[in-house]
Structure 1
Amino acid sequence: MEKSCGFFLFGLLFPFQNVAINAPFLSAWHDLIVNGTSPVTIPHPLNEIPGKVDVQVKVNHGGQDYFFPGIGSGQSDDDILAQYGGVAYLYNHLHVRVFIPKEKSDSHGIGRVITTGEGSYSGPFFGTYVTGKVRIRVWKLSDWPIPNYEGRLSISNSAPYQNLSYCLGTYTYPDFVTVQLKFTDGYVTDASGVVPLTVDDGGMAASLTNTEHICGVVYSVTQTSMTFWSPNKNRDYVACISDGWGSSSFTYPSADIIVRQWILSTFDIHTDYSFSYQWGDVTTGRVPTLIPINLDNDIVTVQVKDATTSNGRMFLGAGSVTVGRTGENFGGIVYGYTNSEILLWTPNVAEGHLIYVGGVWGGGVDPVAVNIVQITVKVIKTGIAGSSMTTWANPIPAPSNITHADVMVTCNHAQYSCMEGYRSNGANTLITYDGTSWSTTTLQCSAVQKPVNATPIEDIVRFLKISKTNTSRYDRSRTCASDPRPSSRAIGGLLGAGVLCFITALIFIADCGTLLRNRKAFCSNLDNDDD
């Protein structure tokens, strides 16, 4: 994929922007109930495709309100013999359409507004809800500072695995990422980081085999690249809200992906807490915040990074999850929040992983299964005008100069080449930056030596050149060769005599008419003289 360092160069000139993240448009709350109205259409006044949409779902548990994010595309339908749901959504320049499960008479799925994974997940409490409330928060792209990186690509059923390389200008993970899926009908939804279903088998009922949908786009982020997976078997789609999600049906076999990344300053983030976690660890699943969360303006994110390798892939948590069948691998972390804490649910069965991508996702390419992770919870402030400052990426330091060598830097790679008139000693010409320092090379470029007292090349050429009139070929072209063979002599004599006789005969014949006329005239003159 194509790399872009345009924003990196801009960052070198303008390392800080005194631009706050503006407050969002905030809608009223709308009631939700499984098998009730779906979709619920909530208008917004932006008159443009929002740069960021947050569908906020509120449920009550034990007298306390808890908030969960919407899930973008519905990742399953009602043909699964288990709980399915979450709040899916599509949006355009006029409104956000919110979808909740609406079970059909022939379905076997159990619809929920929010489900935290039944018995397959552990967390602060077991959450499964048939009622709730929803509102939308939408930001214009201009409400945010200029992204540190923006990229585009496409994904489809026929090409369900994609990579995108980029150059932020610093060896770090972005603080905030949006991944929008844009469709041909003008609607947009968001990609996610959780894979709940990985096998297309229609659940446990034989009559439902190959009838269920698995939909969505899952993505991961590293310091220099992003990876995207979508399902591509049977009736799978890049995005869908269909079959058990209400009166309207949407299925999309392809989408344009729009990626934006920001590196934010401490003024923009009032909670940024990371901790290591391994599958099976005992935890309360509650992360308190030192500063209260503004539920109207602040954005809560949970990032899960592979801790088994450097530059590990980072996935986003989700607000609800559909659990697969027994023995079917799945993965991801579910989260919710209040104004004072962030709550986490993690898989607790053998087939559940803290990070997982496999099965039908990406056509089986590049599977991921990780159970040792670093979890990062962040709360991003918006709507506090003039108090925040968004920072650009710190530039990677320039690699060392090598005498008589040129160097081309592409993100965290530097490629050396010897200048004209110099040659390499054969050492490695490519070095990389690991976030702390550049790797080393013993490359040296030495001048190409000329022999002492060497004759100039022009003199050598002049000395070697000869006139074409002094060549044997030229001499042969000017000389008739003798052929002593009798047959050649006979043919030459006869042919030569014949040619001479023929020419003489032609001259004689041509003059016969003139001779006859002159003879007649001569005879006539003689007769006159006799008279």
Structure 2
Amino acid sequence: MKNDFNSFLVIVFIIYCLLEFRSANRCFNSPHFLSQWTDVEAQRTRKPITLEHECGDFPAKVEIQIRPKTGNWTNFYFPGIGSSQRDDDRNETYGGIVYKYNKDEVVLIIPGVNDGYSSGTIIYTGASTWRGPVAQNESRAQVRTLVWCPGDLPDTSYESQWIPFNNSGKGSFLEIPHNQGNFPDLITVQIRQEGTEWLSDGIGSMSALKPDTSTSWGGVIYGYNRSHVRVWAPYRKNGQLFSANDGWGSATELWSRGLVRIKSWKVTNMHYVTTQLNQNSNQELSLNTIYNQNEDLMIVRVLADNGYNKGFLFPASGAVQNDDSMSPYGGVIYSASSDTLRIWTPVLSGSRYLIYINDDWGNSMYPQTSKSAKLLIQIWKSSTCAMSTAPSVTTSTSNNLQSSDPNSANQQKSNQAQTSKLSSASSVIPAAVGGSLLFLAVSGAVVAIVLWKKYRRNRVVGETKEEG
């Protein structure tokens, strides 16, 4: 009986050590919440759709998947968009499903006429000013939501505090050091509406259609390189941090002020594909792996290869909101099946770009007009694990952060001064905690092995005595 009890203690101790090791090196898990497919129809689904995700905390990552209801391409899913850049004032087609979320719910907002034209649809890949593998314009579709709670992702390698942000002057631009010394595998930029717990996600390019002071449009653009994250908000022509108003059913969302939080992750065993983007680039790519659309996370980014933001990655999008032949705009649209990625890009003539940030954004800091770039597709598979080493805290001052903009130096110094303390604390604390837990796990494993060997030796001695 005594030997059995000792054996039980050893097994319990080993399990404890394994659990402690997992907490120091957590893996990327399947989403905590995966909704059912819901039928939606532009111009008819007037009220936003509300889904309870059951995290009880702000989600770490929210993904919206949109697919045609019928036809040959129901296996290709488009992502949702973090903010509308269109309203119904002009009789020109726009698409997408806008979303926001809090600690309990995700809200999906569908295009629907307010006082203008019923030109909003759900899936839209543009007309003659966009190029892609197929042309899609779907007013009927199905949508579902995937939500990863904080415990479903590895520990962050960097996390800022909530930073004040608004749509006027210097308050509309941020440059935050993430101190990784290399590209993070995932960056999220969450925007929190002032005075509430509602969040939206950042976007990657401007696609507003001739905005003016009477137009409802908005969004927060972000990009990141090996050392910094840059964040732009519109600061002129009525641009908002988040917009879903006047052409989005019964929604009347316009956020002018709020807070921004940045998180980053680094993992191992990630699958990725890259390709060059230009006027003649491929419009369909093999993923060379199986992407499980129910569990895995796909991250699609566009790498600027010139301009003020050379070396910065910007997120791709899920719907065309501007295809006017006379209006400047930019962006890269994508959809994915389990083994293939489809890409839509503007026809790169005139004022159309892969990445576009004009002087209406971020106090006119670091504008961008890219007609060539590189596309990076990353797939985090369920059970992909985090880096076991502590995050790098080396500060980079590489040349790609410098520009000829005479205002850039003062702005950069101001933003770095505001955030240097935040970034140091956010990096050192996870490293210390993770290192302690890892040491505990290794020590526990050694003790467990010693106890197990002692138990085996005592058992052999006891059996020998009984035989004698």
Per the TM superposition, whether the score is higher than 0.5 is yes
Specify which of 225, 229, 233 is matched with residue 226 of structure 1.
229
Specify which of 390, 411, 436 is matched with residue 395 of structure 2.
411
Give how far 1:356 is off.
0.9
Give how far 1:394 is off.
6.7
Which position in structure 1 is the counterpart of 2:205? 194
Deviates more, 1:154-163 or 1:134-143: 154-163
Specify which of 219, 235, 238 is matched with residue 235 of structure 1.
238
Give how far 1:194 is off.
2.4
Structure 2: distance between partners of 1:132 and 1:293: 21
What secondary structure is seen at the aligned counterpart in 2 of 1:98?
strand
Give how far 1:180 is off.
0.7
Which position in structure 1 is the counterpart of 2:34? 26
Structure 1: distance between partners of 2:293 and 2:180: 33
The two structures have a TM-score, normalised by structure 2, of 0.74
Structure 2: distance between partners of 1:88 and 1:413: 36
Specify which of 276, 295, 316 is matched with residue 293 of structure 2.
295
Task: Trace 1:316-331 onto structure 2 (pairs within 5 A).
Answer: 316-323=315-322, 325-331=324-330
Which position in structure 2 is the counterpart of 1:307? 305
Given the superposition, is the C-alpha separation of residues 360 and 108 from structure 1 closer, same or farther in structure 2, using an over 3 Å criterion? farther
Which position in structure 2 is the counterpart of 1:380? 380
Give how far 1:132 is off.
0.6
Greater helix fraction, Structure 1 or Structure 2: 2
Specify which of 130, 136, 140 is matched with residue 139 of structure 2.
130
What secondary structure is seen at the aligned counterpart in 2 of 1:234?
coil
CA deviation vs aligned residue, 1:151-203 (integer Å, no higher than 9, x gap): 24222122453233324342x211111111111222111011121126324xx
Given the superposition, is the C-alpha separation of residues 413 and 181 from structure 1 closer, same or farther in structure 2, using an over 3 Å criterion? closer
Residue correspondences, number: 369
Amino acid across the alignment from 1:316? P
Which position in structure 1 is the counterpart of 2:338? 339
% identical equivalent positions: 26
Amino acid across the alignment from 1:277? L
Contact between 2:206 and 2:331, CA under 8 Å: does it hold in 1?
A: yes
Given the superposition, is the C-alpha separation of residues 391 and 311 from structure 1 closer, same or farther in structure 2, using an over 3 Å criterion? farther
CA deviation vs aligned residue, 1:247-283 (integer Å, no higher than 9, x gap): 23111101211111112111xx2x31112222x1242
Which position in structure 2 is the counterpart of 1:464? none
Structure 1 portions without partners, runs of 5+: 1-13, 202-209, 397-409, 415-531
1:365 is the counterpart of 2:365: yes
Amino acid across the alignment from 2:274? S
CA deviation vs aligned residue, 1:501-530 (integer Å, no higher than 9, x gap): xxxxxxxxxxxxxxxxxxxxxxxxxxxxxx
Structure 1: distance between partners of 2:312 and 2:281: 24
Give how far 1:233 is off.
2.4
Structure 1: distance between partners of 2:229 and 2:91: 33
Structure 2: distance between partners of 1:226 and 1:21: 23
Contact between 1:59 and 1:133, CA under 8 Å: does it hold in 2?
A: yes
Specify which of 93, 103, 124 is matched with residue 115 of structure 1.
124
Give how far 1:389 is off.
4.1
Given the superposition, is the C-alpha separation of residues 109 and 223 from structure 1 closer, same or farther in structure 2, using an over 3 Å criterion? farther
Contact between 2:78 and 2:318, CA under 8 Å: does it hold in 1?
A: yes
Amino acid across the alignment from 1:44? H
**Structure showing greater Rg:** 1
1:390 is the counterpart of 2:387: yes
Root-mean-square deviation (Å): 2.3
1:47 is the counterpart of 2:56: yes
Which position in structure 2 is the counterpart of 1:509? none
Which position in structure 1 is the counterpart of 2:443? none
Amino acid across the alignment from 2:378? K
Amino acid across the alignment from 1:213? S
Structure 2: distance between partners of 1:198 and 1:364: 19
Structure 1: distance between partners of 2:135 and 2:390: 41
What secondary structure is seen at the aligned counterpart in 1 of 2:151?
helix
Give how far 1:74 is off.
1.6
Given the superposition, is the C-alpha separation of residues 178 and 395 from structure 1 closer, same or farther in structure 2, using an over 3 Å criterion? closer
The two structures have a TM-score, normalised by structure 1, of 0.65
